[in-house]
Amino acid sequence: MDQGGTLDFPQCAGGENGAGGVRSKWHDHFADSPDVLKGPGREQTIVSVLDVEIGGDEFIPMAGPCSVETESQLMATAHHVRRAGARILRGGAFKPRSSPYSFQGLGLAGLKMLAHAREETGLAIVTEAMSECDVPMVAEYADILQIGSRSMENYSLLEAAARSGKPILLKRGMVATIEDFLRAAQFVLDHGNPNVILCERGIRTFETALRNTFDVAAIALLKQISHLPVIADPSHACGHRELVAPLSRIAVAAGADGLLVEVHPNPDKAWSDAEQTLGFAEFDEMMASLEPYIALRSAAAHAAYEPQAMEAVG
């Protein structure tokens, strides 16, 4: 691949002073992760799981509890989020916690509950693998392996996850630059797995009012420079349930391909991340409030392919 800053992109003609020049500068900046960047012959990656395509035309909401707690908690949530429009069920069986005294997850029992929820609802499952030793077991039950923020630079885990052949939902490390994030994605590709979904989940900054700072510009930038699907996790990004819906709308407007949102039948009683978890009614409201944004997103995507629309924007 040409890393000399003169890449010729059909989608961004305009020479060094136009969009093409701007785009090729990003290629210089992210020269360590060339294969995750858009380029000639590198089409948008679409990750297919069961009947869902992530990175395609459809916006993909993923929702569920922070942690799998009980069969009834998980089933009630799975049925509810499916009816409300979620396409993928999330839920942690292995929980990386900042405090060693917090609930660490049900492990294998939680994975079995997730598999049962898939049987009952048809929803695909995304769940976290925390160590390379757990990857074979998690991969047996999950449709997508989540690599958590705290594990983004755990290279033996990334390698084992990549080699499992399952799609990888890669969360941005909480102190990772966009460059670090793309390098981790490149590492997964280098180990033979092209099915990587990038997830912006907020980063640590000097701001302390919120759990993290939602880096919406990262979503917009990643959508411009990478062919990998990009999703947003507004729950961990802000840590407050009343901010989850507005951040979700912002994520759609920034071009995200989907969302990862925490939902629980009784959020105040959730065993982990209660403050940021939505109840069922709040999730329904959030989904309804996203509708016009998703419609605009689809209209914009189709307009981009209309020759007349292209002429209209020059």
Query: Which alpha helices (DSSP H) does the chain contain, by range?
Result: 19-29, 71-83, 108-121, 135-141, 155-163, 178-190, 216-225, 234-238, 241-254, 280-305, 307-312
Sign of the CA dihedral running 275, 280, 282, 286: positive
State in angstroms the smallest separation of the CB of 128 from ligand PEP.
Answer: 6
**Closer to ligand PEP at the Cβ: 102 or 224?**
102
Give whichever of 26 and 214 is closer to ligand PEP, judged by the CB atom: 214
* Among ligand PEP, Mn ion, none, partner that 96 touches (CB below 5 to 8 angstroms by kind): ligand PEP
**Sole residue written with tokens 């005294």:** 101
171 binds, among Mn ion, ligand PEP, none (CB under 5 to 8 A by kind): ligand PEP
Residues of this chain that bind ligand PEP (CB under 6 A): 66, 92, 96, 148-150, 171, 201, 233, 236
| CA 234 – CA 237 distance, rounded (Å) | 5
In the complex, minimum distance from the CB of residue 294 to ligand PEP, in angstroms, rounded to a whole number: 22
How far, in Å, CA of 228 to CA of 77, rounded? 29
Any residues with CB less than 8 A from the CB of 148 and at least 6 apart, and which?
96, 128, 130, 171
CB of 17 to ligand PEP, least distance (A): 39
What span, in angstroms and rounded, lies between the C-alpha atoms of 165 and 104?
A: 26
Question: How far is residue 90's CA from residue 67's CA, in Å, rounded to a whole number?
Answer: 9
Q: Which is nearer to ligand PEP, 92 or 167 (CB)?
A: 92
Amino acid identity, residue 192? G
Q: Which is nearer to ligand PEP, 118 or 172 (CB)?
A: 172
173 binds, among ligand PEP, Mn ion, none (CB under 5 to 8 A by kind): none
Shortest approach of ligand PEP to residue 96 CB, angstroms? 6
Residue 143's binding partner out of Mn ion, ligand PEP, none, with CB under 5 to 8 Å set by partner kind:
none
Choose between 7 and 251: whose C-beta lies nearer to Mn ion. 251
Find where tokens 């080699």 sit. Answer: 163
Complex with ligand PEP: residue 193 or 276, whichever CB lies closer: 276
Task: Say if residue 5 is exposed, middle or buried (CB neighbours under 10 Å; 0-12, 13-18, 19+).
Answer: middle
| Partner whose binding site includes residue 240, from ligand PEP, Mn ion, none (CB under 5 to 8 Å by kind) | none
CB of 66 to ligand PEP, least distance (A): 5
Task: Give the footprint of Mn ion on this chain (CB under 5 A).
Answer: 66, 273
Q: Minimum distance from CB of 25 to ligand PEP (Å)?
A: 29
